[in-house]
Structure 1
Amino acid sequence: MTEPRPDSKPSPKSMFRNPDYRKIFVSVGASQIGLQVAYFSISIIAVVVLDLSETQIGVLYAMDQIALVMFGLLVGVWVDRMRDKPIIVVSEILRAVVMLSVPVAWALDMVTVWHVYAAMFLLGLTSVFFDVAQNSFVPRLIDNKRLAGGNSRIQGIRSASDTGGPLAAGPLVSLLTAPVAIIVAVVSFAVSAFSVARIEYREDEPELPEKPHLWGEIVQGFKFIFGDTILRNIALVSAWCNLSIGAFQAMLMVFLIREAGQSSEVAGFVLAGSGVGGVLGAMLVGRISKRAGVGPTAIAALAISGPGMAIVAASGPGWGAAVAFAGQVVYVAAIVVFNVNVISYRQAVTPDDMQGRVGATQRVICWAGLVVGSIVGGLTGDLLSARVALLIAAAMLFAGCLPLLRTPLRRLREIPQEDSLLASQ
């Protein structure tokens, strides 16, 4: 079997044999390791070194997401007006520079709460460009018949990296201190940039409108999502669920270290459960969806994710870390199954020239929930406790599946194919 030409979309059978797909696959994995090490190290700095309050930690986590809410819609338009590959490469270089500032400031004894706030905000901003461009790039490389499979493989490598990142970060932080461990994140971002730079696929220059209208193009993204019944319901439910996920993520490290009394190494072990769950979810999503249908599988997975989160909140000190690890596996595996199916549906029904705007619009809607959730989670942790914040988040996440039972998603059996989409136009 011959390799497809660099400027052609790979056929379904050649998807994983295609060297360009492998390079983006490696890029995602390296980038995710960098992110996990960066987030873990900054969390340790916030909780242990700077001794921030629960509310301050909630704000810290919100800074990462505020960047997307503020600039996500603009990024979506810019991505649709530019080629994806250069955006991905530059984003990774900038992420490396932002993270390198932390160990430099540490060496100069200048690490402050405002520095970690700024680092988290800039990390989030550069991640917006990377994520939107990468999500727009993948559908150009993969036929719709293999889009769900390609997304599940990418989600699988993301999740495997989620496992390796925290597992490596815990001992690295203990051995080298958190700021020095961030060097691993810098190297990971550089590897990701190098991998994408070597992709040979030649993108066409996007066709720009004769009279570009920024806000008009942004509105088109909103109209597309809210004009599709399934996409509209997915967006609204995802925003609700991200309220709970934002609160959970903000208070998880606080709960593990301050309330459950775990060490940074054990906390890294618990966080690695998200990677194991992600790999498991990516492995199972295709098989389960084929038997039960894409929509029913997504709804059932969302229903399972809340109880998984509650298991984490119910864990205690010592061997309770194993319980928390198991809860992380269940919660994240279910979320991955949900995400792979709904993202694949969105990518399949979205025209190539709108992938950036539609993807960014979806992210802004969802990440607005993360921002609010992070702050509310921190306030709840301050007023009550981190454990109570986690339990409330778990109940909210489970409730998210209920509105979807009354939508057309419950009848969606498979991802629409390109031929059927063309025939309907």
Structure 2
Amino acid sequence: MFRHPDHRLLLISVASSQVALQIAYFSVSIIAVVVLKLGEAQIGILNAMDQIALVVFGLLAGAWVDRVRRKPVIVVSETIRALLMLSVPVAWMFDALSLWHMYAVMFLLGLASVFFDVAQASYVPMLIDNDRLTGANSRIQGIRSASDTGGPLAAGPLVSLLTAPISVAVAVAGFAVSAFSFSRIRFQEADPVRPEKPNLRAEIAQGVKFILKDPIIRTVAFSSAWCNLSVGAFQAMLVVFLIRDTGQTSAVVGLILAGSGVGGVLGAMLVGKISAKAGMGPTALVALAVSGPGMAVVAMSGPGWGAVCAFLGQVVYIAAIVMFNVNVVSYRQAVTPDPIQGRVNATQRVITWGSMAVGSILGGFAGEAIGARYVLFIAAGMLFAGCLVLLKTPIRTLRDLPEEGTGLSDAFAGPDPHPPETPEGKHRAD
């Protein structure tokens, strides 16, 4: 994958975008806890704002992305994210930084990310052949995870040296590099086939129907929604717990959060080898079962050297989640026809990430009532329970990826007389 120029540019874009996003999110968390001194409930709502944008606009974004070429959407989305983050240090310098400004930034950042994520997830299976898709996804996830390490590691000292509002400006450069790199990809997408009589409701329904018809995608979607309810609560209270309950500094918190990147790299490295021996489905199931205990280890950490415990818990928790995600995302991309990739990806995100927004809000209110540490323990138990739903589904016996676009007939079964056609001679970079 690293030998092809387009693939290298894709990976550079992924890495720089993810580092920028991690610095942005870390800095926003520090601004909320230290600069604005928000309460737990306010922090929970702030963490939910970007996911609320997904719930409100996700299905519309999926239908719209399927009508246009994906590359311009990705470049424009990255540019908007850069401008949004630039507004934070500017507002701070003019003493205009407020809770409502941060709410607006996070909501609009989430809106831009909806289009970016849906378009990128739909673009990758066009760029890369099916027989290389799992390997490509594991490499992409590995790059993202390495970036997840670099982002918090860089953000911690940046916050200490420059203050949190100024450190956000560093994220602007990352988004700009990502936009430029993606714009240099030479792969030419085929123009999407558009229905003669566009019907937005019917187009959205096709994405929903596709997910509901496939037993593996359907069960994974609802299991992931339950798991993301716990992940939302965990993420909302993690920085609060580390700073207020254990007394860790911003630099140490950055180091602990970097454990997610280390775990992501580890998971991306192991998923291919383990899946080849044990099968894709069983690997995903076991990985999801391990993620909850890893989260619980973080909740057991304390002050001082307890940071090591929190770091190791992050490594285990994220490594397991990455292994689960690589396999289930590869399956979904493989069986989904290109004409509806955007709608299927958007529907999946609305189902699973929408629950993360609910989890963030509930976690914030629960944190005020019972404390951040107890919220983390409850989230860990909920995450472990998520794997139980999948035990009696076909994912138990799934060993390899099915044929490309095998869900096409199911996706368009029904009254719609004009389903989108699969473009002939689909161009891919080898």
Scaled to the shorter chain, the TM-score interval is over 0.9
Residue 3 of structure 1 is matched in structure 2 by none
Corresponding letter in the other structure for 1:168: A
Residue 142 of structure 1 is matched in structure 2 by 128
Determine if contact 2:210/2:407 at 8 Å carries over to the other structure.
no
Note if 1:20 corresponds to 2:6.
Answer: yes
Corresponding letter in the other structure for 1:154: I
Kindly state the Cα deviation for residue 219 of structure 1 after the two structures are TM-superposed.
0.5
Determine if contact 2:137/2:330 at 8 Å carries over to the other structure.
yes
Residue 414 of structure 2 is matched in structure 1 by none
Q: Distance in 1 between matches of 2:333 and 2:87?
A: 36
Spell out, residue by residue over 1:389-417, the C-alpha distance to the aligned partner (whole angstroms, 9 max, x if none). Answer: 00000000000000100101001011113
What are the equivalent positions in structure 2 for 1:44-123 lying under 5 Å apart? 44-123=30-109
Spell out, residue by residue over 1:179-226, the C-alpha distance to the aligned partner (whole angstroms, 9 max, x if none). Answer: 111111000000000000101111111110000100110010010000
Residue 330 of structure 1 is matched in structure 2 by 316
Residue 213 of structure 2 is matched in structure 1 by 227
Q: Distance in 2 between matches of 1:175 and 1:371?
A: 31
Residue 355 of structure 1 is matched in structure 2 by 341
Comparing 246-255 and 17-26, the one that deviates more? 17-26
Structure 1 residue aligned with 2:157, among 171, 189, 193? 171
Residue 416 of structure 1 is matched in structure 2 by 402
Kindly state the Cα deviation for residue 21 of structure 1 after the two structures are TM-superposed.
1.2
Is the alpha carbon distance of 1:141 and 1:109 closer, same or farther for their aligned partners in structure 2, counting shifts above 3 Å?
A: same
Structure 2 residue aligned with 1:236, among 201, 222, 235? 222
Note if 1:394 corresponds to 2:372.
Answer: no
Q: Distance in 2 between matches of 1:401 and 1:36?
A: 27
Residue 282 of structure 1 is matched in structure 2 by 268
Aligned-pair identity in percent equals: 69
Q: Distance in 1 between matches of 2:322 and 2:403?
A: 22
Spell out, residue by residue over 1:19-49, the C-alpha distance to the aligned partner (whole angstroms, 9 max, x if none). Answer: 1111111101100001000000011000001
What are the equivalent positions in structure 2 for 1:201-280 lying under 5 Å apart? 201-280=187-266
Determine if contact 1:242/1:373 at 8 Å carries over to the other structure.
yes
Comparing 412-421 and 302-311, the one that deviates more? 412-421
Aligned residues: 411
Corresponding letter in the other structure for 2:37: D
What are the equivalent positions in structure 2 for 1:307-386 lying under 5 Å apart? 307-386=293-372
Spell out, residue by residue over 1:59-104, the C-alpha distance to the aligned partner (whole angstroms, 9 max, x if none). Answer: 0001010010100000001110010110000000000000000000
Residue 278 of structure 2 is matched in structure 1 by 292
Note if 1:157 corresponds to 2:147.
Answer: no
Kindly state the Cα deviation for residue 239 of structure 1 after the two structures are TM-superposed.
0.3
Kindly state the Cα deviation for residue 422 of structure 1 after the two structures are TM-superposed.
9.1
Corresponding letter in the other structure for 1:50: L
Q: Distance in 2 between matches of 1:24 and 1:249?
A: 28
Please, which runs of 5 or more residues in structure 2 have no aligned partner? 412-430
Q: Distance in 2 between matches of 1:116 and 1:380?
A: 22
Kindly state the Cα deviation for residue 423 of structure 1 after the two structures are TM-superposed.
12
Corresponding letter in the other structure for 2:327: N
Task: Indicate the SS of the match to 1:387.
Answer: helix
Task: Indicate the SS of the match to 2:66.
Answer: helix
Residue 11 of structure 1 is matched in structure 2 by none
Q: Distance in 2 between matches of 1:419 and 1:276?
A: 33
Corresponding letter in the other structure for 2:76: V
Task: Indicate the SS of the match to 1:400.
Answer: helix
Corresponding letter in the other structure for 1:316: G
Q: Distance in 2 between matches of 1:211 and 1:99?
A: 39
Is the alpha carbon distance of 1:17 and 1:223 closer, same or farther for their aligned partners in structure 2, counting shifts above 3 Å?
A: same
Corresponding letter in the other structure for 1:255: F
Is the alpha carbon distance of 1:421 and 1:290 closer, same or farther for their aligned partners in structure 2, counting shifts above 3 Å?
A: farther
Kindly state the Cα deviation for residue 418 of structure 1 after the two structures are TM-superposed.
3.0
Residue 34 of structure 1 is matched in structure 2 by 20
Q: Distance in 1 between matches of 2:220 and 2:297?
A: 25
Spell out, residue by residue over 1:360-380, the C-alpha distance to the aligned partner (whole angstroms, 9 max, x if none). Answer: 000000011101100110011
Q: Distance in 1 between matches of 2:102 and 2:406?
A: 49
Kindly state the Cα deviation for residue 53 of structure 1 after the two structures are TM-superposed.
0.4
Task: Indicate the SS of the match to 2:400.
Answer: coil
Task: Indicate the SS of the match to 2:261.
Answer: helix
Q: Distance in 2 between matches of 1:422 and 1:225?
A: 12
Kindly state the Cα deviation for residue 421 of structure 1 after the two structures are TM-superposed.
7.5
Determine if contact 2:337/2:404 at 8 Å carries over to the other structure.
no
Q: Distance in 2 between matches of 1:170 and 1:34?
A: 13
After TM superposition, the score normalised by the length of structure 1 is 0.95
Corresponding letter in the other structure for 1:373: G
Determine if contact 1:145/1:417 at 8 Å carries over to the other structure.
no
Q: Distance in 1 between matches of 2:393 and 2:199?
A: 34
Please, which runs of 5 or more residues in structure 1 have no aligned partner? 1-14
Structure 2 residue aligned with 1:186, among 172, 182, 188? 172
Determine if contact 1:307/1:331 at 8 Å carries over to the other structure.
yes
After TM superposition, the score normalised by the length of structure 2 is 0.94
Corresponding letter in the other structure for 1:378: G
